[in-house]
Amino acid sequence: QVQLVESGGGLVQAGGSLRLSCAASGSIFSINAMGWYRQAPGKQRELVAAVTNGGNTDYADSVKGRFTISRDKTENTVDLQMNSLKPEDAAVYYCNAESSPYYGMRRYWGQGTRVTVSS
């Protein structure tokens, strides 16, 4: 089992910045990739950004150039730096971890942290 705890959400004006952080604990050795998803009211949960153990990153088109994901494997954390925030970025953001195929490719989720962007 992997436990994920997010922090850093809040209210920010459009054009501002926020940094989300996620701390992982438990079966850290099983993690193959970590990332951030978001879910706005009435919408499906969507991938925002992800990073693999090898350092490969993936971003949603809507956040490319504005958001940066970083992972510290020593501290077992994954952060999301969000710049130039837009009202459409407002959502509940969830930290995600995926275990490797050897460990069953399980997906773990944090409790979510809300990001509100005022126009």
Confidence at residue 71, expressed as pLDDT on a 0 to 100 scale: 95
Per-residue pLDDT tens digits for 68-82 = 999 998 889 999 999
- Supply the pLDDT for residue 19: 98
Question: 55 pLDDT exceeds 90?
Answer: yes
Alpha carbons 81 and 87: distance in angstroms, whole number? 16
**Of all helices (H) and strands (E), which one includes residue 31?**
strand 31-39
Residue pLDDT, tens place only, 80-100: 999 999 999 999 999 999 998
Residue 73's pLDDT is: 86
CA 43 – CA 64 distance, rounded (Å) = 20
DSSP letter for each residue of 90-106: -EEEEEEEEE-GGGT--
Q: Is the pLDDT of residue 14 over 90?
A: yes
**Confidence at 2, pLDDT banded by 50, 70, 90:** very high
